[in-house]
Structure 1
Amino acid sequence: MNILFVHQNFPAQYRELFQWLLAQGGHELVFLTQRKDLPEIRGARVVSYAAHHVPAEDAYAPTKYWEECVGNGLGAAFAARTLSAQGFRPDVILGHVGWGELTFLKEVWPDVPIVGFFEYFFLAKGGSVGFDPEFPASEHAPFLMHARNAVNFANIQTVDLGQSPTLFQRDTYPASFHDKIYVQHDGIRTDRLVPNPAAQVPLGRLGRPVTREDEIFTYMARNMEPTRGFHKFMRALPHILDARPNARALIIGGSEVSYGKASAAQGGYRAEMEREVGGRVDWSRVHFLGKVPYSAYQSVIQVSRCHIYLTVPFVLSWSCMESMSMGATIVASDTAPVREVIEHGKTGLLVDFHDHEALARQVIDVLSAPGDHAALGRAARAEMVERYDFATRCLPVHLARINGLVPSARAIPLPG
């Protein structure tokens, strides 16, 4: 089959599917992306495109995002037109809806089916905006959020089929979208993401690696920011360290902002929160690791006695489910996307997102008696294997949906 993937940040949600198709051989795979540092991949082409237009910083706020999406869409469409002139015609197109990249592809290939990834519908209520009273929504938020959804409304008509990874994410969309969107997670490589009792994490400041024998608790986010509860974690930190004098915190994440408003402080939310908790923290036992390679991230989770995952009602992080697959004992925020994968007292422990003292108490309890909570990690891994394993649960569903849009002669053979 000829398959065109479209995502501004290769490979993103398509990492496992792209790699699996590549390993099967016999498919012509092209990935269209805005990334410039393109990898050389034997058996596939990764093609960079540039946005046709980028709005000015002072562009009219309600239409600025749509303007950006149109620029992305035209850039992707013009790159697709070049591919077409070179003789490439996809049997199916898989792409992310959110940045407008799919918007004009039917103008290039009118008869080629498109499967769109519907990640999130921008909500003024019931989602990330206004959830935390510390960051109240502006009076203009309902208008701005609705305006941002122009790309969603345009692309529900563009695509032949939509996909959302979780029910929470699908249900952020209007009911009129639901019949066109199937719900299936991208898939977790539970065969690779496993517990490892022998894992080690080098800590230069300590002069030795830490292992499962050490009292380690962890926090991870792409960037340390309020959407992922970083401020709540930092406020819980002095309580945890005071109660557990041998505990160490390992923190993964950058100091930028992926979602929401940036901090006005130099150094971002990390610097802001360091100043707030200040002298109440024994900083010799706090290790900010920054953004680390994927293998290093796995080792951090594998040595963790308690992993903390926090989020407002928003897109569920891969790291939450990957940590479950590695058998971590997780203390997480009791928010809608998390409740879809973690059942309190069975596969993890849930606490009120807004109550950092409750978070601290729960983490202290896990650190104090890891044996009493070990079953949670085992059950979490079993849940991932049973419901979210890439090869046995998610891949067959995605292939069936793709095959349903193409002639049987062009269908992708199912695994096994």
Structure 2
Amino acid sequence: MNILFVHQNFPGQYRQIVEWLVAQNQHRIVFLTQRRDTPQMQGLTIVRYATHHKADKESYALSRYYEDCVGAGYGAAVACRKLKEQGFTPDVILGHVGWGELTFVKQVWPQAPVLGYWEYYFLAEGGSVGFDPEYPASPDSPYIMHSRNAINYLNLSTVDLGQSPTQWQMNTYPPEFGAKSYVCHDGVRTDRLLPNPGASVKLGRVERPVTRDDEIFTYMARNMEPTRGFHTFMRALPHILEARPNARALVIGGNEVSYGKGSDAEGGYRAEMEREVGDRVDWDRVHFFGRVPFEGYQQVIQLSRCHIYLTVPFVLSWSLLESMSMQATIVASDVAPVREVIRHGENGLLVDFFQPEALAKQVSEVLARPDDFAHLGVQARADVVEKYDFLTATLKVHIEKINSLLPRAKQIAPPA
């Protein structure tokens, strides 16, 4: 069978299922992406495309995002036409809707069924925009957010079946999207994301590697920014370090912006927050790693006595489920998407996103009495294994849904 995946940033949400399908050695799999630094993989053909058009700064604000998306969509379609000319016709197409890449695939292959990934419907209220009064929405935000959903609506007719990874994310969409969609997470490999009592990390200013015997607390985000609560974490930092004189903070994340507006301060949000907390922090006990390879990130979480996960109401990070799988004791922000997976006092702890002192108090208690909270990590892992493990929980759902779009002769053999 011929399978086409479409995602601008290979492999995106499709890492696990592509790996599994390649291992079956029964299908021709093509992955269409904008990413340039991806090597070819055995059993998988990676085709790179360039966006055909990007809006400039002078473009009308209400149509700028749409302009970018249809530019990406047409660039993807050009690449699809070349694939078609080379004799490739997909039996099924799986792709992310949000950047417009799927928009014109049915103009190339009208008969190919499409399974689209609904990640986020842009909300003027109830999502990330306007949640934090420190970063208020502009008066134009309702119009800009609504106009951005044009690409969702344009692809509603492209997508034969939709997928959303969490119920909260699916609920951001109007009913007509949910009527032709299913909710199931991409899945995480809990067999690889394990607790490791022997984990250690070498810190530049510390003579010996730190281990689980040390008072380590951690924070991780793709980028250190308000959407992922970086400002709340930084304001909690002096209180935690004061309460726990032997504690060290290990921070993973880039200094760019993935979501929302960037900082106006030189040096970005990190520099802005460092200046705010200033001399109230013992910086010798704060270690910024930047972005690290996946294995390094695992080691940091595995030795963490308390892991902090903060977010506004927004797309749930893979890192939360990964940290739960590694049996971390997690203190997280009490917002709707997090409550879908964290139950306070059962498999983690929830605090008010807007209360850095409450966050600091809770983290300090975990650092002081780790044994009293160890059961939370054990239950967190058990929950992720049961509900989100790729091999035993989510894979069979995804294969069943893909097969529902295919004639019996073309269907993928379900996992054993």
Equivalent position SS for 2:132 = coil
Matches within 5 A, 1:7-406: 7-406=7-406
Deviations 1:227-248, CA, capped at 9 Å, x for gaps: 0000000000000000000000
Q: Distance in 2 between matches of 1:364 and 1:54?
A: 47
Contact 1:38 1:47 in 2 (8 A): no
Deviations 1:139-177, CA, capped at 9 Å, x for gaps: 000000000000001111111000000000000001221
Equivalent position SS for 2:157 = helix
Deviations 1:317-344, CA, capped at 9 Å, x for gaps: 0000100000000000000110000000
Q: What amino acid is the match of 1:191?
A: D
Deviations 1:158-198, CA, capped at 9 Å, x for gaps: 11000000000000001221111100000010000000001
Equivalent position SS for 1:208 = coil
Equivalent position SS for 1:9 = coil
Q: Distance in 2 between matches of 1:260 and 1:44?
A: 34
The alpha-carbon deviation at position 207 of structure 1 amounts to 2.4
Q: Distance in 1 between matches of 2:183 and 2:407?
A: 23
The alpha-carbon deviation at position 38 of structure 1 amounts to 2.6
Q: Distance in 1 between matches of 2:312 and 2:144?
A: 19
Q: What amino acid is the match of 2:232?
A: K
Equivalent position SS for 1:217 = strand
Point out 4+ residue stretches in structure 1 off by more than 3 angstroms.
none
Identical aligned residues as a percent: 68
Equivalent position SS for 2:46 = strand
Q: Distance in 2 between matches of 1:332 and 1:99?
A: 29
Q: Distance in 2 between matches of 1:192 and 1:408?
A: 33
Structure 2: tracts of 5 or more residues without a match:
none
Q: Distance in 2 between matches of 1:327 and 1:133?
A: 34
The alpha-carbon deviation at position 10 of structure 1 amounts to 0.2
Structural RMSD (CA) = 0.5
Equivalent position SS for 2:220 = strand
Q: Distance in 1 between matches of 2:322 and 2:150?
A: 32
The alpha-carbon deviation at position 106 of structure 1 amounts to 0.3
2:3 is aligned to 3
The alpha-carbon deviation at position 368 of structure 1 amounts to 0.7
Q: Distance in 1 between matches of 2:181 and 2:91?
A: 20
Q: Distance in 2 between matches of 1:68 and 1:178?
A: 25
Aligned residues: 416
1:409 is aligned to 409
Q: What amino acid is the match of 2:230?
A: F
Contact 1:38 1:48 in 2 (8 A): no
Larger CA deviation: 325-334 vs 170-179: 170-179
The alpha-carbon deviation at position 385 of structure 1 amounts to 0.4
The alpha-carbon deviation at position 58 of structure 1 amounts to 1.9
Structure 1: tracts of 5 or more residues without a match:
none
TM-score, structure 1 as length reference: 0.99
Q: Distance in 1 between matches of 2:354 and 2:180?
A: 35
Contact 1:218 1:301 in 2 (8 A): yes
Q: Distance in 2 between matches of 1:141 and 1:54?
A: 21
